[in-house]
Structure 1
Amino acid sequence: MVSALDRLSYAARQTARVAWYAGHYAAGRRLLKPLPKPDFPIGPMPTRAELTADLRSLFEREWQDIAAGLFAAPALLGPDPAELLRRSALYFRDLPKVDARRHGRINDEPDQDEANAHLPRYYRQNFHFQSGGWLTEESAAIYDTQVEVLFTGAADAMRRRMLRPIADWMKGRRQREVLGLDVGCGTGRLLAFLHSAWPGMRLTGIDLSAPYLEEARRLIGRTARVKLLEATAEALPFDDASLDLVVSSFLLHELPKKIRAEVLAEMARVLKPGGLVAIVDSIQKGDQPTWDGLLDLFPYYFHEPYYAEYANGSIDAWGDAAGLQPVASERAFLARVSAFTKT
């Protein structure tokens, strides 16, 4: 049973988180030079009041699921206060470099490094114009700060909306019999939330970035229930129909069309009949039509070479092409959670 104090504690943590990252956003804007106005049509845009109300709705839905006993209130993840401040400083230190790349449209620095030659070409880029792309220790240290600033402290909450369809699917199942995989696990935040909610699950996270996997190891800690592997999403190192649960967060919009189709097909291949694929990623055009302008502007301000094609597509159609049937869908602020099964 949750108490009034539990609710107050949850609300206080989320409010503090939003205020912290909103402050970063406001301070960061002062360091950035304005870009010229886009020379292409921009769709409708939400007001700040609409975004704020929708963000509150996101937290309220999570709390209602917690109160209903579907999963526990989220654990506090991440560094201690001193480390949090250090990473904040790293984030602000990188902003001028990000801005210089944005104005110079420089996005291929990781491709110039011979140490990255073994990685797919689509991956060797300065995504978000960030230093190192996704391929350095510095990048791994500031990625979560960067994403939370972008989403005003809501990134983790959007990821956690995936717990709802998983909780529904888990009814009648034993945790210790579930084999799960996080495709493109990055710094491990989704894996950590899954491990906290269902500590008996045996989970594996794969990613192409060794520094991000090291960050995930630090976040999750020592446990035999979670393994981390350097591997590619378009050729998963698992047998056919060998996994019960496959998840990913904010991966698909980073992939070229051909690779994205291969990744979804791989997810379907390794999934057992009756298993679940759960994906959280950006909303697409039409998910919230009055917000479509945000999707037009995002790849203009951030280096996201595959985002426009993603935003104009349909994850349900892509899942169907991979042999997956949709079973649940929810818009979670600026993200969409989609769940599929395989018969």
Structure 2
Amino acid sequence: MLENLTKLSYQTCQQSKNYFSLGHKILSTQLQNLLYPQQQPTKRVSPEAIAKLQNRLNQLLETDWQDTQKGIYPESVLFENEWQDFFAYYPQLCLDLPQTWARITQKKYQAFSPEIDQQGYPSYYLQNFHHQTNGYLSDLSANLYDLQVEILFGGTADPMRRRILSPLKGELQKFQQQPQKQIRILDVACGTGRTLKLIRSALPKVSLFGVDLSPAYLRKANQLLSQNPDDLPQLLQANAEELPYLDNYFHAVTSVFLFHELPAAARQTVIEQCFRVTKPGGVFIICDSIQVSDSAELTEMIEGFAKTFHEPYYQDYTKDDLIDRLEKVGFRNIETQIHFLSKYLIAHKPL
């Protein structure tokens, strides 16, 4: 009985997120069209595609719930931070919208405020990804990011992130049988620290590390992760193309929602670096957007995403052969999974 009530609470919470996200999108689109009527209307998603997406969404949430029942992570994780970001940052998000719409109309995709230091970053990084004010280089962007992504995905960003936890925990069992060795996990492009926090919920005793290019996002990650001050992850500002770690150092490496924001050459270099720092017998897990080869029936929607949200490398990513890239550097036994709008690759480094 209690289990059924908890599951119903989870489903209700997810549904409320979905409805709120839909309401926000409808209202903001209407306001945008009112202020900037010259904007071309976006294509409507077909009823068939909507039905497919709803089925995938239902499967995602059921898998998320079942993983708690299997003990992959506690049920409490499903209810963390439900409306905190909404109350804290939604007013700021709304105030930022007119500035965002103006940049879209003017086709300003690399616009940064004068006080933003742009030195030392690769050119491909200096973008207003998702039309975000100051890209990934301001505290405002870092504060709004998780809420923006939750709205974009109708409250499913964390359920999609959590799909890395089951394979991650399963792959690390062989190392956990050696208690004298401390297990180390690196999250590449850790952003605001959401993935690291979720990994901690499933694997409380491992040593966690994170790298990101943005000092603002690392500040946000430290703020989020300091809620458990006894075992803080070690966070570094670094380019994933030059990971500042020894060879064969990590038992597992993860990367969530990074590769679609990299040009092809950088994508390959990051994979090479992840292979270098992964121990023989270790695992590299990627979570990123679905690709055309996975979901041909959603091709129109996939292609529209890049245009709507300014993702300059997304079109190339959606047709990229990630398995081939992983195998080129030496990863083997690569497993692929699809959950809702995300693709997962679980790649093993041979002993």
TM-score, scaled to structure 1: 0.91
The residue number in structure 1 matching 2:190 is 185
Q: Distance in 1 between matches of 2:160 and 2:83?
A: 22
Deviation at 1:153, TM superposition (A): 0.9
- Provide the secondary structure at the position in 1 that maps to 2:205: coil
The one-letter code sitting in structure 1 at the alignment partner of 2:13 is R
Q: Distance in 1 between matches of 2:134 and 2:334?
A: 38
Whether the 8 Å CA contact 1:178–1:201 is kept in 2: the answer is yes
Q: Distance in 2 between matches of 1:43 and 1:13?
A: 25
The residue number in structure 2 matching 1:299 is 306
The one-letter code sitting in structure 1 at the alignment partner of 2:18 is V
The one-letter code sitting in structure 2 at the alignment partner of 1:153 is G
Q: 2:62 aligns with which of 51, 60, 63?
A: 60
Deviation at 1:78, TM superposition (A): 3.7
Whether the 8 Å CA contact 1:107–1:129 is kept in 2: the answer is yes
The residue number in structure 2 matching 1:13 is 13
| 2:220 maps to 1:203 | no
Q: Distance in 2 between matches of 1:79 and 1:334?
A: 21
Deviation at 1:107, TM superposition (A): 1.0
Q: Distance in 2 between matches of 1:115 and 1:71?
A: 39
How big is each residue's C-alpha offset from its partner over 1:193-228, in whole Å with a ceiling of 9 and x where there is no partner?
Answer: 001111111001110111111111111122434111
Whether the 8 Å CA contact 1:256–1:306 is kept in 2: the answer is yes
Q: How many pairs are equivalent?
A: 340
TM-score, scaled to structure 2: 0.89
The residue number in structure 1 matching 2:327 is 320
Q: Distance in 2 between matches of 1:77 and 1:260?
A: 32
| 2:343 maps to 1:336 | yes
Whether the 8 Å CA contact 1:275–1:341 is kept in 2: the answer is yes
Whether the 8 Å CA contact 2:10–2:79 is kept in 1: the answer is no
- Provide the secondary structure at the position in 1 that maps to 2:287: strand
Whether the 8 Å CA contact 1:45–1:293 is kept in 2: the answer is no
Cα 1:29/1:3, change in 2 over 3 Å: same
Whether the 8 Å CA contact 1:245–1:271 is kept in 2: the answer is yes
Deviation at 1:10, TM superposition (A): 2.6
Identity %: 34
The one-letter code sitting in structure 2 at the alignment partner of 1:309 is D
The one-letter code sitting in structure 1 at the alignment partner of 2:169 is A
The residue number in structure 2 matching 1:261 is 268
Whether the 8 Å CA contact 2:188–2:240 is kept in 1: the answer is yes
Cα 1:126/1:178, change in 2 over 3 Å: same
Cα 1:266/1:43, change in 2 over 3 Å: farther
Q: Which runs of 5+ in 2 are unaligned?
A: none
Whether the 8 Å CA contact 1:42–1:296 is kept in 2: the answer is no
The one-letter code sitting in structure 1 at the alignment partner of 2:206 is M
Q: 2:120 aligns with which of 118, 130, 136?
A: 118
Deviation at 1:269, TM superposition (A): 0.4
The residue number in structure 2 matching 1:36 is 40
Q: Distance in 2 between matches of 1:326 and 1:334?
A: 23
Whether the 8 Å CA contact 1:25–1:152 is kept in 2: the answer is no
Whether the 8 Å CA contact 2:335–2:347 is kept in 1: the answer is yes
The one-letter code sitting in structure 2 at the alignment partner of 1:185 is C
Deviation at 1:37, TM superposition (A): 6.0
How big is each residue's C-alpha offset from its partner over 1:138-192, in whole Å with a ceiling of 9 and x where there is no partner?
Answer: 1111111111111111111111111121122133432872101000000111111
Cα 1:231/1:246, change in 2 over 3 Å: same
The residue number in structure 2 matching 1:145 is 147
Q: Distance in 2 between matches of 1:112 and 1:260?
A: 30
Cα 1:148/1:94, change in 2 over 3 Å: same
Give the superposed CA RMSD.
2.5
Deviation at 1:263, TM superposition (A): 0.3
Q: Distance in 2 between matches of 1:267 and 1:45?
A: 40
Q: Distance in 2 between matches of 1:233 and 1:45?
A: 40
| 2:244 maps to 1:237 | yes
Whether the 8 Å CA contact 1:182–1:247 is kept in 2: the answer is yes
Q: Distance in 2 between matches of 1:112 and 1:225?
A: 33
Deviation at 1:279, TM superposition (A): 0.8
